Every structure is written in C-alpha cells, then in structure tokens.
Amino acid sequence: MYSLKNKTAIITGGGSGIGKAISVTLAGQGANVFIFDLDEKGSQETVETIASSGGHAEYILCSVDKEEEVQKAVQYVLNKQLPDILINNAGIAHVGNVENTSAADFERLFSVNVKGVYHLLKYCIPPMKANGGVVLNMASIAAWVGLSDRFAYSMTKGAVAAITLSVAKDYLKYNIRCNSISPARVHTPFVDGFIAKNYPGQEEEMFKKLSATQPIGRMAKPEEVAALALYLCSDEASFITGTDYPIDGGYIRLNS
C-alpha cells in the first residue's frame, strides 16, 4: 500500500522540518523527489539521507516567492519528467497582532506563504493536466481557530485553505486532487530556534508550555505529518479532494 513507484514529486521547503520528513517518506515509497528550497545545506542533507536508503532525490535552489525562479525550477523538472505530486510546504512564520505587524512584514508573509503557493500551482498545474495528479498544501490550525499574536500568519494560512478548495473544484475534470493539512505545533528545528530566540534562558519551560497547548500533551513529530501526506498523495486516497486534514492533537475540537 501507499506505493509511489514511478511517481515524481515536487516538494517545497524540503530541506528541513516537515518538508524534510515528507521528502524522505515519499522517496522511501518510491517517488522521485525534487526539493525546491533556499537552504542548500539542509537540502543536500535531505538528498543524502534519501540516497543512503536507495531513494532518488535532487534539490534546486529556489525562492518560492520569486516567480522566475519557480518557473525555471519547474522547467528543470519538466525536462526530465512530468510531475505527479506537488506539495506546497515552504512557509515562514511571524509573531504579532494587527497593531504591531508592519506593512513590510505583512507583505513578506503574503509573498512567501500565499504567492509562493500560487507560483508553484501556476507552473505545475498545466503539465499535470495531461495525466492527473495530486496537490497537497500545508495550511495550519491558524486557518481555523483564533491564535494570539498570529495575525499575518493566520491570514496566509486561511488563504491557503481557500486556495485548496478552489483548485480542487477547478481541476476535478483533469483528475487532479487537491487537499491540505493543518498541523498544530510540530517539533522541528524551527521551533527550537524560535524558543531560543524569543525566550532565552527559558527554553525548557517554554517548550513544555507550548507542548501542553495540544490536548494530547505534546507536539507532533514531523514524521507523523509526513505519514498523513503520504496517504493523501497515494492512490489509496483517490476518492479524497477539497478536504483539509487537521493533525493537531485535538487542538481544534478539544481545546475549550
């Protein structure tokens, strides 16, 4: 089950965290993985991890908010094979409410988290129309619940959720499925860096506090998100489109 043999996957932000876990997991099931990321060191490490297990992966340095870079990166893949899977995982975070979020920060979040998704869709959807395929977007619980001091970030993830529905509707006739995943907090190097930067000297205390906000009592592991991504990209999920999947330790429904 969940075989992706002879499938080609483009995964943005595959150099670390959730994107790395998804890249390794999909490659482990036979997918040819192309990572689009600005993190050359992390991307190289992901490629080496995949190769050490007999998988195939390449990385292309690409900033998803720059259309020309995305176009060139997608064309590089197309020169080799048609993409079957697109995973829009790359994104950035921001802390702030509407009063203390600058216009520059707002535009930066929108550019990466929303325009980045648009750019990949714009250049991947047309070739995918030939044989069908799967689009999987990374949304967030921030699209569905109110989170303190996540004004701009929540805006972008709400947009990603809406984009998912629109693409799912528009491309049904081409056998292109589009879904999204909405994680709560996931323990990645980004989280560790965020805590160290914003709460120096209180790292252990803050980690426990943030973990406890999930009713299940801990953060998710990147590999758990990757397992859900694998299912949604596989033929076993061929009847699923236009759906968001929370992976949140009960946060949305049980946090009262």
Q: Look-up: residue for tokens 């906000």?
A: 213
**Does the structure show a pLDDT above 80 at 37?**
yes
Q: For residues 71 and 87, what is the distance between their CA atoms, to the nearest angstrom?
A: 16
Confirm whether 2 is a catalytic residue: no
Residue ranges of the domains in the chain?
Answer: 8-184+222-250, 187-219
Q: For residues 244 and 161, what is the distance between their CA atoms, to the nearest angstrom?
A: 7
- pLDDT computed for residue 66 by the predictor: 98
| Domain 8-184+222-250: which CATH number of 3.40.50.300, 3.20.20.70, 3.40.50.720, 3.20.20.10 | 3.40.50.720
Q: Look-up: residue for tokens 């992966």?
A: 57
Q: Which two tokens stand for residue 78?
A: 């197309």
Q: Which two tokens stand for residue 177?
A: 């499925």
- 54 in the Ramachandran plot: left (φ > 0), alpha (ψ -120 to 50) or beta? left
**Does the structure show a pLDDT above 70 at 256?**
no
58-80 tens-digit pLDDT: 999 999 999 999 999 999 999 99
- pLDDT computed for residue 189 by the predictor: 87
153, 171, 245, 251: which one is catalytic? Answer: 153
